[in-house]
Amino acid sequence: EDREDYTRSFGFYEQGNRLKKSQSTYKAERMTDDLAHQKDFFTRSYFEKTGSNGHPVSDPIFIVGLPRAGSTMLEQILSSHSQVDGTLELPNILSLVQRLRRQDSGASQKTYPFTIDDIDPDELKSFGEEYLRDTQVHRGSAAFFTDKMPNNFRHIGLIQQILPNAKIIDARRHPMGCCFSNFKQYYARGQNFSYSLSDMGRFYRDYVDLMAHFDQVLPGRVHRVIYEDTVQDTEAMVRSVLDYCGLPFEEQCLRFFENKR
């Protein structure tokens, strides 16, 4: 690719991804169903009925979306603010989901997320407290911290239930740029959708569909950052993100490339 021999380079990208896909059990149809279940369970009436019973703190800033969509740059911008600690792609929400999946009720044939109906509000609050406690090791002394695990977009409903005042930012990039960048990126594990262009296109479409659902049932809850807009007018994006997070503007957020973290 560096020598601009794009036909041959694409062939090698395709060959490498085909080898990785042969080692994977990923099924695009299963992921589509999994995300559809989130829409089926987390409805507007569900949130109106349950209210906000989770841990009331507002410390976490979740950066979600697909990989290769500008989330690292966004985290670097936020962590340049004096009141925000940058951490890692924290696994805590995904680990909680795995626990909930293991507790699926065989008797009622309920599976996650439908089993959340059977969880006491106090336990949901305790999940939020647990998240804050377990992520403390990655933080400094700032009032807020980022969690940029992209796949947390699949669990916005759960985040809303356990941490109703946390901030959620959707980092989004044009599908051609985002999907091809994922196709070129070698993931040893964890992003099995990326080993096939058709799987990736379907995953992107399902992601956009799920985020549109949460825009409808939780209006204004998720703040969206478009990568291409950020490139065109970085300051406007920075100001909008800081406003959403309730943070004052700080000039060093525009000099995020000087951040030594």
- Per-residue pLDDT reduced to its tens digit, 12-62: 999 999 999 999 999 999 999 999 999 999 999 999 999 888 999 999 999
pLDDT tens track for 178-195: 999 999 999 888 899 999
How does residue 108 score in pLDDT terms, banded at 50, 70 and 90?
low
**What does the pLDDT read at residue 161?**
97
pLDDT digits (tens, 9 = 90+) for 126-178: 999 999 999 999 999 999 999 999 999 999 999 999 999 999 999 999 999 99
Taking residue 166's Cβ as centre, other Cβ atoms within 10 Å add up to: 22
The pLDDT value given to residue 102: 86
The total of other beta-carbon atoms located within 10 Å of residue 198's CB is 8
Q: Which two tokens stand for residue 131?
A: 């998240």
Distance between CA atoms of 234 and 217, rounded to whole angstroms? 29
Q: How many CB atoms lie within 10 A of CB 164?
A: 22
pLDDT at 261: 85
Q: In this structure, is the dihedral angle defined by the CA atoms of residues 138, 141, 146 and 147, taken in order, positive or negative? A: positive
HSE-up of residue 14 (Cα within 13 Å, Cβ side) = 8
Lowest-pLDDT choice from 4-8, 105-109, 208-212: 105-109
Q: What torsion do the CA atoms of 121, 123, 124, 128 make, to the nearest 10 degrees?
A: 140
In this predicted structure, what is the pLDDT of residue 251? 97
